[in-house]
Structure 1
Amino acid sequence: MPPDTRLAEQLDPATTVLLTVECQRGVVGADSALPELAEAARASGALARIARLVAAAHDTGVQVVHAIAERRPDGRGASRNARLFRAAERLPVRQLTGSTAVRVAEPIPVSEDDLVLRRLHGLSPIAGTEADALLRNLGCRTLVVTGVSANVAVPNAVFDAVNLGYTVVVPADAIAGVPAEYTSAMVRHTLSLVATVTTTRAVLQGWARPRRTR
């Protein structure tokens, strides 16, 4: 199948950033605090596809940003205004700053040129973080959103990015949530209204397409 020309234009490496959302060992790794979500990310192939996208971004010159959710051991600055946050405090694996739980999970490759965006609060890797300033300084116009979860952080990232004026591309097979059928329904009925929904293969084809010289 030939590459989608419009998508390829959106994915210009000079103005595109690839965002991985909470693809950290304590979330999608072997010792996850959320084993059902980790299993969904691996069994669906989403984690492997994210790794492929990151590797291709490195090869193509697309900037990669890894968004990590963590907390201080003393909990200072952490949100507690939702059931999700309070439940996280009781999980056997905690996403503590400096621990292995907040390292990018295998098999995702990490380059010295990647940026790691850490947050101590909230549901979104964009709202209330340095993300917007970093993306604008990088010349980003298109944000490719991948990762977990399709239940909370991914839709938050998509809506926040759209509200800030970025074009958002979502490779639907490179995100995961629970249950699996919820993820597909959320993509179809919600994210497709505000983002360009596509596949990992199409993104890879877009990055492989020769660019016009100016």
Structure 2
Amino acid sequence: MPSYAELSELLDPRTTVLLTVECQEGVVGSESALPELAEEARSSGVLARIARLVAAAHESGIQVIHAIAERRPDGRGASRNARLFRAAERLPVQQLAGTPAVRVAAPIEVTEQDVVVRRLHGLSPVRGTGVDALLRNLDCRTLVVTGVSANVAVPNAVFDAVNLGHTAVVPADAIAGVPSDYTPAMVRNTLALVATVATTDQVLACFRRQCRTVRR
């Protein structure tokens, strides 16, 4: 784990963006298309930790972006070139644009300053979705990645952030995947090689200090 000084230097509110990945009702909510993943995100406290991080980012003046995966009712533009996409088409809950399934899930709060980015295709919440351009325009140097799933979308976001020249920070207890023992193994053996891995409490401590600094 990084020292407080190292992490605090990375999390300058002027150049830090907090990203939530697929924290939407149809994925982590009570009516999820993926109940096992939703249960893991909620029972483990991951969703609650993400909500705390988002609230602290709001207080600290750190930009928040919510990356949502959705599809048109007619399926136009949706990816079908992987088994995952074809299986999603058969799920009882569809992530259809304009429905409750693609709303950011409680207890995460969305403010007017937040940016919600919706993608209709692919696996990545960052590259090819508009998020990459937003990060450049926001002068982002550090991207804090939270959300689901540790199996696919979260690693995609981290790799893309690094490839785009950003430093990725991953609060390891603010991401979820299935089965439950997969996430720590993936963090330890994959994400730790390319990202700064921390805990939610470590990141919150930095955010809160930045908030006190801003208020002075």
- How does the TM-score come out when normalised to structure 2? 0.95
Residue in 2 aligned with 1:88?
Answer: 88
1:45-56 to 2 correspondences below 5 Å: 45-56=45-56
**1:9 and 2:2 correspond:** no
What is the distance in 2 between the residues matched to 1:89 and 1:128? 22
Letter paired with 2:23? C
Residue in 2 aligned with 1:35?
Answer: 35
What is the distance in 2 between the residues matched to 1:116 and 1:134? 11
Return the offset for 1:209: 2.5
Residue in 2 aligned with 1:44?
Answer: 44
Residue in 2 aligned with 1:116?
Answer: 116
SS in 1 for 2:14: helix
What is the distance in 2 between the residues matched to 1:57 and 1:126? 19
SS in 1 for 2:66: strand
What is the distance in 1 between the residues matched to 2:74 and 2:167? 37
What is the distance in 1 between the residues matched to 2:146 and 2:208? 19
SS in 2 for 1:18: strand
SS in 2 for 1:17: strand
- The C-alpha deviation readout for 1:159-190, integer Å capped at 9, x for no partner, is 01100000000000000000011001000000
Return the offset for 1:128: 1.3
Moved >4 Å (runs of 4+):
none
Residue in 2 aligned with 1:156?
Answer: 156
- The C-alpha deviation readout for 1:48-75, integer Å capped at 9, x for no partner, is 0000000000000000000000000000
- The C-alpha deviation readout for 1:94-137, integer Å capped at 9, x for no partner, is 00000000000000011010000110000011121101110111
**1:136 and 2:136 correspond:** yes
Q: How many residues align?
A: 210
Q: Tell me the percent identity.
A: 77
Letter paired with 2:112? E
> Cα RMSD over matched residues?
1.1
Unaligned 5+ runs, structure 2: none
What is the distance in 2 between the residues matched to 1:110 and 1:28? 16
What is the distance in 2 between the residues matched to 1:150 and 1:63? 22
- How does the TM-score come out when normalised to structure 1? 0.96
Return the offset for 1:207: 1.4
